[in-house]
Structures are given as structure tokens and as C-alpha cells.
Chain A
Amino acid sequence: MKALVCVKRVIDYNVKIRVKSDKSGVETDNVKMSMNPFDEIAVEEAIRLKEKNQIQEVVILSIGTDKSQETIRSGLAMGGDRGILVKTEKDQLEPLTVGKIIKSVSDKEKPDLIILGKQAIDDDCNQTGQIVATLLEFPQATFASELKKNNDNTLEVTREVDGGLETVKINIPCVVTTDLRLNEPRYASLPNIMKAKQKKIDVLEIGSFDIDIKDRLQILEVNEPPERKPGIKVDDVDSLVEKLKNEAKVL
């Protein structure tokens, strides 16, 4: 069995995001970038399946600029076997474009499991996994919080849904998107970081895919979230009720 793990390079979750002064997007100069945390969970899950001998190969795929090689490399340092970078000039591609590329790579690689984060923490789209499953006509299990491989070529996946937990059984090959509680990704150890240096990353130009990468969406403006106004003290209950009614208009 082979897993294809899709990872995206995003601004590190610890960084305080700043909007560019022309409001065209967020500041990325000298900003620390890392693997999207949900994708890190996907890498971890694939490696755990490999450690249980349920998967033989873990391939890490990223679509992005040359710098995304670093992101792939950190997946290899966690324990991935090899990497594929589909190289683009642009930092951000829309989910549909990404989905089409993943389909194309998948047609060639023929993975049994495509596993990726439920969303990227930069654009929060939560679309890519679903689009990939649709394009490939694979079954999908999204928001996975537990994953088990059965002996009959199916996966049992527990999903986090609004009302609680839902467990589904899906056929392989399939697409799984990961939620926060699926696992806690490991730290890459020094020996594994050293080993990752020798692992192969194939670099493919996006132009070599016969795919229309034109954006369908146009960003008009990016704004900082409004600053929270300081609170005030009221003298008594009456004035509190009065303010809730007339100012906050919640009563």
C-alpha cells in the first residue's frame, strides 16, 4: 500500500499575522514559514501506518514555489520516503487548481491512500480534499479523528461532526482529511533530519501539467480584524440592562 500525503507551506501558526499596508494580502517577508499543522498530522498518520507495516511507502507531495522543498524535507525528516514538488511561480493557488494537480500526480503514482489536512491555516478553504476525491471519484472521509485499516482493504475512519463522532467504513483507494485530534505529530529527531538529506525530491514544473491554473477568485482587500474596544464599568444593574437594551441591542 502506498500513501500520498499532500502538504502546504504556510505562515507558521505562532506568527502574529500582519496585513500589508496596501491591503493586498498578508506580510510574508522575513516571516517564518512551516508545514500546515493539519498536513503535519497527515504525515504523522501515514508514518504510523508505515510503522505498523500497513503501508509500504509514504510519498510527500507539495505544490508551491521552490521553497516548498523545505516543507517536503521536513516531512521526509519525520519519516516520509520520498518527495514530489510541483513547482509554481505563484505562492497561492486555488483549491481547484491544486486538486487537479493532485489528481494528475495520483494518476501516475496510484496511491491507495491520499491523506491531507482538512484545511490550510492560511486561507482556511477546507476544499482541497473534497475536490480531489470528486475528481478521482474516490470515496472520502473528512475530519478524521481516528483511522484504522481493516484486513478487507477498507478503512474505518472516525469523523468529528457537529453532533459528536461518526464512524464510516470506506474502500481503498480513498481520500482522508485530518482533524486536530487524530494524532500528535512527532519531532523530527537529529538522526532522521540527517537521513532526510539523502532522500529524493522530484521537481516537476507546473507547466508540464496540462492544467488551467488561472485564478477564479479575485482578492479585493485584506483587513486586520477590528480591534477589541475596551470595556466599561457600569454603576448598577439598571444601567447595565439599559445599555444591553439600547446600546448593545441584545435584549
Chain B
Amino acid sequence: MDSSVNINSEIINFKQYLLSNTDILKDILSKLEKVSTKSREAFKSALTKDNRIDNQLLEINQSKTHGFAWFDTYRIGLRETLNWFTRLNNDNKSSEIDAAVTLFAFAEYLMQMRNGIMMSQSEIVRPSDLHLDDNDFEFMNDDSVRDLLEIGLSDKIKTVIVDSLDKDIHPSLGLNDETLDMIQDQFKKFTEEEILPHANEWHLKDALIPDDVLKKMAELGVFSIAIPENYGGLGMGKVAMCVVTEELSRGFLAAGSLGTRAEIAGELIRLGGTEEQKKKYLPEIASGNILTTAVFTEPNTGSDLGSLSTRAQLQGDDYIINGNKTWITHGARSDLMTVLARTDMNQKGYKGLSMFLVEKPRGNCEKPFPMEGMSGSEIEVLGYRGMKEYEIALEDIKVSRKNLLGEQEGNGFKQLMETFESARIQTAARAVGVAQNALELSLQYAKDRSQFGKQILKFPRIFNKLAWMAMETTVARQITLFSAREKDNDARCDIEAGMAKLLAARVAWSNADSALQIHGGNGYALEYPISRVLCDSRILNIFEGAAEIQAQIIVKGLLAR
């Protein structure tokens, strides 16, 4: 350890310490990789039957295997946090708070990996669940690692983080690109001027985000980010999408989620559509002329989409769709539905499903479903307002066979799965935006509120929470941006995208909860935006793969590697 750095001495420069001890962090990462491999191999041999992972055994060991998904999520999170700091530093852009956050993340997550990771408030996974024991964490007894833990967990490091936040210096985003910086800058401005001042009012009135705000977002290009240039889009890639999504969600979750629908429909058509379908719909989606809505979930099938029962039967040149759908976000004010329905009644599983592009007239609050055969009612919700959710009945809806995605039956589920990577990355970015919003609201409150003669920010129980929020938001953001970069480089990143979504959703909720706590009683008042952010943040663990399903997907991927 660098002898000039002593946690008990007055002056500690965390950046200096980190720079002279980077090797220790790298070494920790390589140790963790070995530990992870050991756990994975142990699970593989315990769960394998007849040369393959046995689903029944997997289910019996569900909590343990999901614990492994969390363990590896932490590991990849730390890896990407160190990579982020290193890149910043190579560009001469790292600051004290970046170093402090990195050290804090390593110390805290490492301790949790050795002692127990909270998968949720009521489930802790411990090393013994992962086929690991004390010997596997022996490296944590090295003097150098102990020093790191002491420094990383100290109140001092958290004071430094919060002092910096107090001066408005947050951890760097580390976008590393002038164009992305400019995009971030413009959307930050847009969010601060056009979204943030109204978000609470929209929420409390349970109103749709106004049409003119939608129009402005369309003009800025929000719906065209991921659509290729030759179909009227910008073809900008996932990193740009994350930057825009985080900023908009920081203002209002629904604002960052409008683009999700364009993203899902856009990806479905881009990857699964015929040339004619692409030419017809993609430019219209990109311009914002067509608003889309994703129609998959049914009253009896949520996580288990593969068994859904809405039917689409071919009659002549048309399909006739019948069934009940639910939880359809933006179901009324939209022009195109992507409907997942069963075309092969003999196939009970996902193989019998097909995806349809169903045009409909746009509805509004007074007349939500001005289409014959389509009816529905609004589902009142805690948060995530601004687009409205509906339960919908489809009765003898006629669509041309030309509107079967890819004009081939039986591919619906596969087509949907191909969009999951992008959708998860986008949802992770939404969660990071919400997490950041919670941090900023509580930081401001902690500065403004005094008790016992001083700013509450100065009490360890308050600044420790704030430092924690800044640290976890950074880890979640960096794993999200990592997945996005991988996706942009055409590298497979389904596991990392799932990890990003899994972690970011937990962080959004825990940030919102801590932020509300910092507000005391006022946090519980509807008037204070944090009460909305708490409601908004709660959804992120449920949709786009509930936390349990997400962990399941991750661990299946890990065990197949």
C-alpha cells in the first residue's frame, strides 16, 4: 500500500491511491473470475442430467442459481467500473469523486460477495449457496486488499463523494465522445426545461404526456435513433439511445419510455419484417407520425408468454384475431399495435406464435378505442403514468396476411426474443435515469433541510446514503453503457444486457427508497416529486423481464457458456 495514504491521516487523495494501486483492483477481478468459474462449474455438474442442464434441478435450486446470476452481475459491474475509471484517466478526465466511487464500489461489493448479496429485501444469497467457502475468499486477507476494504468502506470516502456532489460535481458519465456529450447536453437541457417542471403535475393529474411535448421529442429525433438511415432513421446505435433515454427518464420515467415502444416495434420490423413492411412502417415510426404499442401480455400469461392464448386464424387473405390482452401501455394514443397471437392451435408452446402489425385509429382519453372489435378499460396504476395502461379485448379484428411480420407463421416468439437485448439495455438506461433523479432530489433536500442546527447532509446516516446512491448509480450506468457498446459492435451481449437491467432496476428502487427516507415526512407528501419517483421506480423490477425471470435468463446463459 502507498504509505502516504493512511485512512487516519487528514489528507487522503483517493485518486492518487487508486492510480498507484490499480494492479490490486485488477488482481481482485482476476481472482473473482476464478471464483465465478468455480461456482459455475460446480452448478453445472450439480444440475446436469443426461449431458444437459436439467430444468427440474434448475428449478429446485432456483434461489441458489439466481444468486449466482447476481454474483456475476456484481463481478461484471466492478469490471466495467474499473474500465470506466481507467478510460477517464487515460483521457485526463478522472476526478476525485470518480476514484472514490470506484474504490467504494470495489470494497462494498466485494464484502457483499463474501458475506451475502441482497437479491431483494427478503432474499440474501451467501457463498455457501454458490458452492463457495472461506478458502475461495482467502485473497481478501492480503494486506493490500484489507487496506482497500478499509479505505473503500470508510466514512471518509463517503464524505469526499458527498462533498463533491455538494459542489455539483457528479461522477463522470465517461461517454468519451464529443457527439455523445453534445447529445447528452441537449437532452439534459430539454429535460430540465420541458419535462422536469411538469412531471409531477402530469403524474398527479394522471394525464397523458401532452401532444406538443411528444411533437417536440419527435422533432428532436427521439423515435428515430435506432432506425437505420435507409429507412428514414438516424442509425445512431444503442449508446446514443442510452444517453437520450437516461436524460429523459431522469425527468419523468414515461418520457424516457415513449422511445421504448418505437424501439420495440422498430427492432421487430427491422429484424423480422419483409422489405415492404420495413419501407412502409420504419420511416413513419422514425418521424413519430406513427406511435406504436406492444401488445403481448394477457391476463393469464405474463412471464410465461409462450403459452398465450389470443388466436389469429387465416380466412382467405386475412387473419382474424380474437383474445384478451392486458397491461398495454399507450394502448389508446397509438396507431400501430404489435400483437403476439397464436396461429397454430396444435402448437401449445411458443412455436405456435406469430407477430402481427395491426393498424388502428389513434384514440384519446374520451374515446380510447375508436376501432370496431377493439374495446378496453384503463388500469389505474401507482406510477409510470403519462401513457396509460389498458386491458384490451380484441374481437374479430381483421388484418391482411401482408401484416404478418415477415409473412411467415410461427416466428413470433423468436422475433420478439431478438429484440430483447435492445429492450433490456434501453430499460436499464431508464432505470439509471430514475436512480439519478432520486439521487439529485435527495441531495438537494439534504442541503436545504436543517435539523439540530445543521444541514442534515452533514449527518453520517444521510451522507452515507447519498454516497451509496452515487456509487450504485455509477456501477449500473457503466454496465448499461458497456452492453450498449457491445451491441453497437455487433457483439453478443444478452447476458450483460440482462445484468444491466437486473442491477439498474434494483438500484432505481433502492435509491428512491433512500431518497424518500432523506426527505422524512415530506417525502411521503404527493406534492414532493420523490413520492412519484418512488412509485415510478417500482415498476422497473417488474416489466421487461421481472427480476426473477431476468436472473433466470442470466443464469441459463451463464451455465451455457
Q: A16-B168, A30-B95 are in contact. Are A194 and B234 (CB under 8 A)?
A: yes
A219 — which chain B residues lie within 8 A by C-beta?
Answer: none
Please state if A187 and B182 are interface contacts (CB–CB under 8 Å): no
Inside 8 A of B178's CB, which chain A residues have their CB? 70, 73
- Closest residue of chain B to A197 (Cβ to Cβ) is B179
- Chain A, range 180-219, C-beta contacts under 8 Å to B: 187-191, 193-194, 197
The answer to whether A190 touches B225, judged by C-beta atoms less than 8 angstroms apart, is yes
Residue in chain B with minimal CB distance to A190: B221
Contact of B183 among A15, A18, A30, A190 (CB under 8 A): A190
Render B111-129 as a binary contact track against A, CB cut-off 8 A, 1 for contact: 0000000000000000000
| B48: A residues at CB distance < 8 A | none
Residues of B within 8 A of A194 (CB): 179, 234, 236
Whether A193 pairs with B186 at a CB distance below 8 angstroms is yes
Q: Is A74 an interface residue (CB 8 A)?
A: yes
The CA-CA distance from A189 to B222 in the complex, in Å, is 9
Q: What are the residues of chain A within 8 A of B244 when measuring CB–CB?
A: 190
Bound-state Cα–Cα, A117 to B274, Å = 52
Judge if A77 is at the interface, Cβ distance under 8 Å.
yes
Asked whether B220 lies within 8 Å of A77 as measured between CB atoms, the reply is no
- Give the dominant DSSP class at B's interface: helix
| Contact among B172, B179, B234 with A191 in the assembled complex (CB-CB below 8 Å) | B234
Contacts of B146 in A (CB 8 A): none
- A78 nearest CB neighbor, chain B only: B186
B221 and A77 form a contact (CB under 8 A): no
Question: Considering the complex, which residues of chain B in the window 220-234 have a beta carbon less than 8 Å from any beta carbon of chain A?
Answer: 220-222, 224-225, 234
On chain A, the residues within 8 Å of B448 by CB distance are none
The answer to whether A16 and B186 have CB atoms under 8 Å apart is no
- Knowing A30-B95, A74-B182 touch, does A190 contact B236 (C-beta < 8 A)? yes
Given A190-B234, A193-B179, A34 and B167 contact (CB-CB distance below 8 Å): no
Are the C-beta atoms of A15 and B168 separated by less than 8 Å? yes
The answer on a CB contact under 8 Å between A77 and B190 is no
Is B108 engaged at the interface, CB distance under 8 Å to the other chain?
no
Interchain CB contact under 8 A, A73 and B182 = yes
Task: Known contacts A73-B178, A73-B182, A194-B234; decide if A187 and B190 are in contact (CB<8 Å).
Answer: yes
Closest beta carbon of chain A to B64's beta carbon, Å: 44
Report B193-227 CB contacts with A as 1/0, cut-off 8 Å: 00000000000000000000000000111101100
A15 to B169, CA, bound (A): 9
Chain B contact patch, size range = 20 to 34
Chain A CB within 8 A of B59 CB? no
Do B234 and A30 touch across chains, with their CB atoms under 8 A apart?
no
In the complex, which of the residues A18, A29, A191, A193 contacts B182, with contact meaning CB atoms closer than 8 Å? A193
Cα distance A61–B127 in the bound complex, in angstroms: 61
A15-B168, A16-B167 are known contacts. Are A188 and B236 too (CB-CB below 8 A)? no
Query: Closest CB-CB distance, A189 to chain B, in whole Å?
Result: 5
Q: Which residues of B contact A70 (CB under 8 A)?
A: 178, 181-182
Q: Which residue of A lies closest to B193 (CB)?
A: A187
Interface string of A13-47 (1 = CB under 8 A from B): 01110100000000001100010000000000000
Give the shortest distance, in Å, between A186 (CB) and chain B (any CB).
9
Q: At the interface, yes or no: B372 with Cβ under 8 Å from chain A?
A: no
Which of A16, A191, A193 has the largest count of B CB atoms less than 10 A from its CB? A193
Any A CB within 8 A of the CB of B189: yes
Within 8 A of A (CB), among B151-203: 167-169, 172, 178-179, 181-183, 185-187, 189-190
Task: Report the Cα distance A197→B179, complex, angstroms.
Answer: 8
- A18 engages B167 (CB within 8 Å): yes
Which of A15, A18, A34, A187 has the largest count of B CB atoms less than 10 A from its CB?
A187
Give CA–CA (A189, B236) in the complex, Å.
13
* CB–CB B179/A30 < 8 A: no
* Interfacial chain B residues near A188, Cβ < 8 Å: 182, 186
| Cα-based distance from A16 to B169 in the complex (angstroms) | 10
Q: Would B219 and A189 count as touching, CB distance under 8 A?
A: yes
In this complex, the member of A74, A189, A191, A197 whose beta carbon has the largest number of chain B beta carbons within 10 angstroms is A189
Closest CB of chain B to A188's CB: distance in Å? 5
- Cβ B167 vs Cβ A187 within 8 A: no
A219 to chain B, nearest CB (A): 23
> Which residues of A lie under 8 Å from residue B172 when comparing CB positions?
30
Q: What's the Cα separation between A29 and B189 when bound, in Å?
A: 22
Q: Kindly identify which residue among B169, B222, B236 contacts A30, using a CB–CB cutoff of 8 Å.
A: B169
Contacts A/B (CB < 8 Å), 8 sampled: A16-B167, A30-B93, A30-B95, A187-B190, A188-B186, A190-B234, A190-B244, A193-B183
B residues near A (Cβ < 8 Å) are: 93, 95, 167-169, 172, 178-179, 181-183, 185-187, 189-190, 219-222, 224-225, 234, 236, 240, 244
Which residues of A does B touch, CB under 8 Å?
14-16, 18, 29-30, 34, 70, 73-74, 77, 187-191, 193-194, 197
Q: 9 closest pairs, A vs B, by CB?
A: A190-B221, A189-B220, A30-B95, A187-B186, A188-B186, A187-B190, A189-B221, A191-B221, A16-B168
- 5 further A-B contacts with Cβ under 8 Å, apart from A70-B181, A73-B182, are A70-B178, A190-B224, A190-B225, A191-B234, A194-B236
